[in-house]
Amino acid sequence: MGMSRAEKAWVLYDVGNSAFVLVMVTAIVPIFFKEYSAAGLDRATSTAYWGYANSCASLVLALFAPLLGAFADYGRKKMLFVFFLIVGLVFTLSLSMIGKGQWVLCLALFIPARIGWAGSNIFYDSMLVDVTSPSRFDHISTQGYGWGYVGSVIPFVAVISLILSAGMADGLPVSAVKTGFLLVAAWWLMFSLPMILHVRQTSGMSPSSAPVRDAFSSLFDTMRQIAQKKTILLFLGAYFFYIDGVGTIISMSTAYGHDLGFGVKMLIVVLLFIQLVAFPFALLYGKLASVFSTRTMLLTGIGLFCCATLLAFLLAWITDPFQKQLLFWLVAFLIASSMGGLQALSRSYFGRLIPPEASAEYFGFYNVFGKFAAIVGPLLMGITGHLTGDTRWGVLSILVLFVIGGLLLSLVKEPLDGSDASDRF
């Protein structure tokens, strides 16, 4: 069965916004920050500040996500989606104005850019229930992540081509990097247009004359429901821990690799490899979920991340260059093989646990757990790096987060994929 126009438009937004993750969060901006904006700071300190900035962005959004979600369910998902999209685009463009050594300004602009990207994703995720049926959640969600990896590669390669053509003999070519920021914003906007034009909110609360007041009331009702529903509460607890590990690896991997002594060119090639490998594996997770169950595939992804985290910790102890590179590539493959599937199936799994008419509000809580988790990991790595002068010890703590997340997830019942919501509430 092919995809509807709304499903295609929803998937295409993942193609657009994934460029922000790859270029601005994972690949280029961390290097840009460490080598240009934070020039003069030592490696451990600049890595710590980068971790603090990512934690700050997550904290701000986490504090407001549930209320925004409750408000959005009163017919305002699209409006809030567009608002955060504009915020993300504007501040992404503003990063091209950063000067050398202006690390405070760089972080001050990066934080709202990341808030805009993450905020738009709250309402994007919640509109999964508006574009397709529960039986297709796994398929459409993994299509989004899968094609998002492919789509992000195109602007990534364009940015890298600009950087390499400018030459790196004298260090990072800053003008080429800044041009890359403009390309990312243009790509993001282009693939946002189908979402804006063709996706409509079809589920939600009845229109209200006092949506803000009712949003607060609905928020407290949902909090009580979540506290009373063991399945949802257990899943959110599990998600908090394992997505903390995933988010930390995504946002801190380039900085950590830089600290381990890997060159900029190799880090870029490895990131490109991860994106290309992640595409088929994300789609594969969606197919295997229909055979082995969604929860089984989530636990598989967590297990692979445990292996990757342990190997990443051991990397810091290896002195032989060949062995170190070989192990680094193995870690990259393990991350690539499970990253997209774990994130996509988490989204669809949760989508089948919640009432569709309150999807934005529930996904607000979903993002609260995700965003607070995103605070803990980078903050932990940052503090550890500051205290010890070596970021490797923070990596080991991530393994604990995956283990706890996996144990909690094993206690969650498999959600229904049909329309009988009475069994869930």
Mean pLDDT computed over 125-136: 83
Between 259 and 408, the higher pLDDT residue = 408
Model pLDDT for residues 329-340, shown as the tens digit of each residue? 888 888 888 888
Is residue 203 one of the residues assigned to a domain?
no
Model pLDDT for residues 204-218, shown as the tens digit of each residue? 555 555 555 555 555
Q: What percent of the chain has pLDDT over 90?
A: 17
CATH number at residue 190: 1.20.1250.20
Of 389, 228, 236, 404, residue with least CA distance to 309:
404
Number of domains comprising the chain: 1
Model pLDDT for residues 64-75, shown as the tens digit of each residue? 776 676 667 666
Instruction: Please report the pLDDT score of residue 303 as a whole number.
Output: 93
> Tokens 């070519």, residue?
173
Is residue 50 one of the residues assigned to a domain?
yes
pTM: 0.71
Instruction: Please report the pLDDT score of residue 220 as a whole number.
Output: 60
On the CB side of 383, how many CA atoms lie within 13 Å of its CA?
7
Write the DSSP symbol of residue 98.
P
Of 296, 294, 304, residue with least CA distance to 351:
294
The total of other beta-carbon atoms located within 10 Å of residue 321's CB is 9
Is residue 246 one of the residues assigned to a domain?
yes
Mean pLDDT computed over 192-202: 88
Is residue 90 one of the residues assigned to a domain?
yes
Between CA 156 and CA 140 the distance in angstroms is 24
| Radius of gyration, alpha carbons of the chain | 20
Residue 90 has pLDDT above 80, yes or no: yes
Residue 422 has pLDDT above 50, yes or no: no
Of 120, 139, 137, 131, residue with least CA distance to 202:
131
Is residue 207 one of the residues assigned to a domain?
no
User: Strand, coil or helix: what is 355?
Assistant: coil
Instruction: Please report the pLDDT score of residue 139 as a whole number.
Output: 85
- 56-65, 82-91, 274-283, 291-300, range with the lowest pLDDT: 56-65
Is residue 17 one of the residues assigned to a domain?
yes
Is residue 394 one of the residues assigned to a domain?
yes
Between 71 and 56, the higher pLDDT residue = 56
Q: What percent of the chain has pLDDT over 70?
A: 78
Model pLDDT for residues 8-31, shown as the tens digit of each residue? 999 999 999 988 887 887 778 888
Write the DSSP symbol of residue 318.
-
**CA-CA distances (angstroms) from residue 228 to 222, 224, 404?**
10, 6, 22
Instruction: Please report the pLDDT score of residue 192 as a whole number.
Output: 94
Instruction: Please report the pLDDT score of residue 385 as a whole number.
Output: 63
Of 298, 356, 301, residue with least CA distance to 125:
356
* Helix/strand/coil (H/E/C) assignment for every residue in 136-196: HHHHHHHHHHHHHHHHHHHHHHHHHHHHHHHCCCCCCCHHHHHHHHHHHHHHHHHCCHHHH
Residue 325 has pLDDT above 60, yes or no: yes
Residue 182 has pLDDT above 90, yes or no: yes
Let me know: does 74 contact 214? Beta carbons within 8 Å. Answer: yes
Instruction: Please report the pLDDT score of residue 195 as a whole number.
Output: 92
Q: How far is C-alpha 244 from the geometric centre of its chain's CA atoms? A: 10
Between CA 246 and CA 331 the distance in angstroms is 13
Considering 273-277, 358-362, 396-400, the range whose residues carry the highest mean pLDDT is 273-277
Between CA 34 and CA 41 the distance in angstroms is 8
> Tokens 């590669």, residue?
153
Containing domain of residue 363, as a range? Answer: 6-198+212-423
Instruction: Please report the pLDDT score of residue 365 as a whole number.
Output: 72
Between CA 148 and CA 142 the distance in angstroms is 9
Copy the structure tokens of residue 194: 């189908």
Is residue 24 one of the residues assigned to a domain?
yes
